[in-house]
Structure 1
Amino acid sequence: MNTVSLLGIDQGKNRHHLIGHDRSGHRTLQKQFNRSRLLEFAAKLPACTIAMESCGGSHCLARKLASFGHTVRLIAPQHVKPYVSGNKNDFIDAEAICEAASRPRTRYVTIKTVEQQVLSTEHRLREALVHQRTQAINRIHGFLLEFGISLAPTKAAIAHAHEYLDDPATDLPVRFKIVIEYLLKDIQRLSAEIKTLEMHLREELAASDVGTRLLSIPGIGPITASALVADVGDASSFHCGRDFAASLGLVPRQYSTGGRNNLLGISKRGDKHIRTLLLQGARAMMIRIGKRKDPLGAWVRDLLTRKHPNKVACALANKIARIIWAVLARGGSYSTLEPV
Structure 2
Amino acid sequence: MKKLLTLALILSATLFVQAQKYELALNLEVGKVYIQKSNAKMTITQNFNGMPIEIGMNVKGDYTFKVMSADNNQYNMEVNYTTVEMEMESAQGKSSFSSNNPNEQDIMSTMLSRMINKPFTMIMSQSGKVVEINGIDNLFGSLFEGYDLTEQQKEQILAQLKQSYGAKAIKGSFEQITAIYPEEKVKLGKKWSTETNIEAGMSVNLTTNFELKAANSEYFLIHGEGDLVSNSNAPYVKQNGMDIKILVDGHLTSDIKIDRKTGWIIDATIVQNLSGNTELKASEQMPDGMSIPMTIKSKSVITN
Instruction: Compare relative contact order (CA 8 Å, sep 6+) and give the higher one, 1 or 2.
Output: 2
**Do Structure 1 and Structure 2 share a fold, with TM-score over 0.5?**
no
Give the TM-score taking structure 2 as reference length: 0.20
Higher strand share: 2
Task: Answer with 1 or 2: which has the greater Rg.
Answer: 1
Give the TM-score taking structure 1 as reference length: 0.19
